Amino acid sequence: MKLLIIEDDENILSLLQRAFNKDSYVIDSAMDGDDGEYLASINSYDVIILDWMLPLKNGIEVISSLREKNIKTPTIILSAKGEIENKVMGLKHGADDYLSKPFSFAELEARVEALYRRNFSQGVTLLKVGDIEINSDSKIVTKNKQSIELTAKEYELLLFLLKNKNAYVSNAMIEEQLWNNQEYINSNVIQVTVYHLRKKLDKELIKSNRGLGYKIEI
């Protein structure tokens, strides 16, 4: 899952980056509203975590601008403003969730995962591709009712391809989404991950085209 965190407190930002990275999330970050809005406008994220009080442009202004641009990325507002009227204001301006500071990371992560599931499945938690079923709530993948064990990266790649079903996604897109263009990524790691997915699920599941990338047809 790829997140954008917009937070001007260096300590909170560093804590969130370390915690989410430990759980295999891909993270982009910004420390002011202008940079955050720019990143949200040019990149694709699964969830945005957005502080209310930001330099240059506050969180409410950022999310209002994104919604005006028809950017519908699920967004959680973080704020020391815990009063009901502030929560209502945030939600009315386009936020999908609101969490008051101080907060526990476990609760924030649970809310991020809930938004991701809701946005990805659009109310359908069970996805089917032939005889393969993916439960996006439990993260259980089955084939012919038999559970298939996938690694974290295999599961993320499977969801990413399903999210972009019937369209090719390039190696560069996959690398950015799953590995955030990390310099140490092995040149054939994507090919190997696709190979293992095909082996575990169905060799015909993922189509490939040299120069275009990979896709799942539904």
* pLDDT tens digits, one per residue of 112-128: 988 887 766 554 566 77
Question: Do 79 and 143 lie in a common domain?
Answer: no
Give me the helix-helix angle, 84-92 and 59-68, nearest 10°.
Answer: 30
Distance CA 13, CA 132 (A): 38
Distance CA 5, CA 180 (A): 14
Question: Do 6 and 73 lie in a common domain?
Answer: yes
* pLDDT tens digits, one per residue of 175-195: 887 876 555 566 688 999 999
Which is more confident, 71 or 124?
71
Q: What is the mean pLDDT of the chain?
A: 87
Query: Stretch 53-81: mean pLDDT, rounded?
Result: 91
Distance CA 134, CA 138 (A): 9
Question: Do 12 and 109 lie in a common domain?
Answer: yes
The rounded radius of gyration (Å) of the Cα atoms in the chain is: 18
Which residue range(s) make up the domain with 38? 2-121
Question: Do 193 and 140 lie in a common domain?
Answer: yes
Name, in order, each residue with C-beta under 8 angstroms of 86's C-beta and a sequence gap of 6 or more.
52, 79, 98
Question: Do 96 and 67 lie in a common domain?
Answer: yes
Question: Do 104 and 37 lie in a common domain?
Answer: yes
Query: Stretch 128-146: mean pLDDT, rounded?
Result: 84
